[in-house]
Structure 1
Amino acid sequence: MSLPFTPAFPWLLYAYPWMPFPRRVIIYLREKRIPSSLVTVVRVSTPQDEDQAVDSSYPPRPTGSLPILVVPSAEENGSASGLQIRQSMAIMHFLEEVCEKRVYGFGDAALRSLAGTTLVQRVEINEVLSLAEQCTGDWNPVRTFGTKAGTMSYPAGSKEMLRWVRRSLMTIEKWWQAAERDMSLLRQGVDGHVTLADIVLYQFLEFTRDCYGVDMTLGSGEKVRDVYGREVVETFPKLREFFEAFGTRESARRIVDEGDVPPEWALKNMLVWADGAL
């Protein structure tokens, strides 16, 4: 990998730390043990609070949705006009490659790949990763139609899209049951088993529970009809094991002083569900 310039350090990750897409990158940085001397998280206030960096010593945030990773140029040290990488998955894949190649000072932070080192590993990780991303995308109409945080009230639409979220989760559940995945390997103190897919999926499950009060790992335990009309038992024991195990990791801890916890004004809207939306 080559850049058009020699970067100055640290790199800057502009983020709303509690929001879903920045949150997954922050978990990734912690899991990868990339220090702030290499990548500094620049906390940005929410759009309702003028959308500026909380610490004014940093350059103003670049335009565009967050997170944005800025690699400052050597000639303009301290500015935000260097290489800018947007979208959480692009940022994490970029950092994975930088660590793998041990360039730009990332040699000491180059722990094992979270994206897989063999073809089979990469395929298996990307299978789950694609469904975890699908869950995140499908949740948007659920919360938009079903909660006070949304732009319109359409409870029936919210409930229908929730079925599609559960469809993706059920697929992951079946894969992990078939593979007999040992979730104890994800607990704090055990290294070498967390993947990019785990981070993205955990962040989704954490976001829906902590911000919207909906624990997606808790099924009804009853037989229901899926989106294709097939009868399935709505239960997610492997997902539950996964969520509880990953939640013990230091990387998953929400740190209040670093902005990882959603503000009260946001929770007041996100936790208000319309009748019939769930």
Structure 2
Amino acid sequence: MEFLDDMCWTEQHGLPAVDEYPSLPLQSLQANFKDPLKDDINPLLRARYNELLNQANGLTESWYPIRIFGSGAGIIHLPGAAHEMFKWLQRGLLGIERWMEENEYRPEEVRWGGEKQRDVTIAEIVLFQFYEFTKDCYGVALTESTGVMIKDAYGRDVQDTYLRLKVFYESFLTRPSTKRDADMGEIPPQNLVQNMTD
């Protein structure tokens, strides 16, 4: 997908040109990112984009052992192991929450039809699909905050709060691309959901 973005941006291989390169509008970098239509994409903006993409990928990968050890869809039932792996997942969630804060990321801008509506990036799509997958298939709403102090994977006290992630998820859900059709097989069968949410 990134290759196709690049080919459209550079008008190669007969692909249609795009007016604007799909990049995250991070407020903390605006002073360094004067003109998004220039050929030279700001290297720091690209690095911040890659940070989000890598963290979103990390969440998806972290979910695998949790589902294997902690759900009825897994092959080995070890709730204690799933609980420990969940701490590492929470570390990733808190990392993205901090990333959004540090970069002055505005999660509400992914809302469909809003005043500042914009195209979303691959990194944002990967992040959304993780939350959608864990909520719809496993019944775990990872954007919900308890607000309590918890121990992270290193035994440190951290607050279980994901305010920006919640706004991001709820805003993204307004986009037409998130609607699924049961007749097309886009919603898992109830018997599978029952196993996954166990």
Q: Structure 1 length normalisation: TM-score?
A: 0.60
Tell which structure's C-alpha radius of gyration is larger: 1
Contact residue 107 and residue 165 of structure 2 kept, 8 A = no
How many percent of aligned residue pairs carry the same amino acid?
38
Q: Deviations over 1:118-147 (max 9, x none)?
A: 212211111111111111001000001011
Q: Does residue 238 in structure 1 map to residue 164 in structure 2?
A: yes
Structure with the largest fraction of helix: 2
CA distance in 1, matches of 2:109, 2:94: 21
Task: Give the equivalent residue in structure 2 for 1:121.
Answer: 45
Q: Does residue 172 in structure 1 map to residue 121 in structure 2?
A: no
Structure with the largest fraction of strand: 1
Structure 2 residue runs without a partner (length 5+)? 25-40
Task: Give the equivalent residue in structure 1 for 2:34.
Answer: none
Pair 100,210 (structure 1): closer, same or farther in 2 beyond 3 Å: same
Aligned residue for 1:123, secondary structure, equals helix
- From 10, 30, 33, give the equivalent of 1:101: 10
Deviation, structure 1 residue 104: 4.6
Q: Count residues in correspondence.
A: 180
Give runs of aligned pairs for residues 1-278 of structure 1, distance below 5 A. 92-107=1-16, 110=18, 112-114=20-22, 117-189=41-113, 190-192=116-118, 194-272=120-198
Pair 268,164 (structure 1): closer, same or farther in 2 beyond 3 Å: same
CA distance in 1, matches of 2:76, 2:20: 44
Deviation, structure 1 residue 269: 1.4
Q: Structure 2 length normalisation: TM-score?
A: 0.82
CA distance in 1, matches of 2:14, 2:141: 40
Aligned residue for 1:228, secondary structure, equals coil
Q: Deviations over 1:130-182 (max 9, x none)?
A: 11111100100000101111111010111111111110110110121233322
Q: Deviations over 1:209-233 (max 9, x none)?
A: 0000000011321111111111111
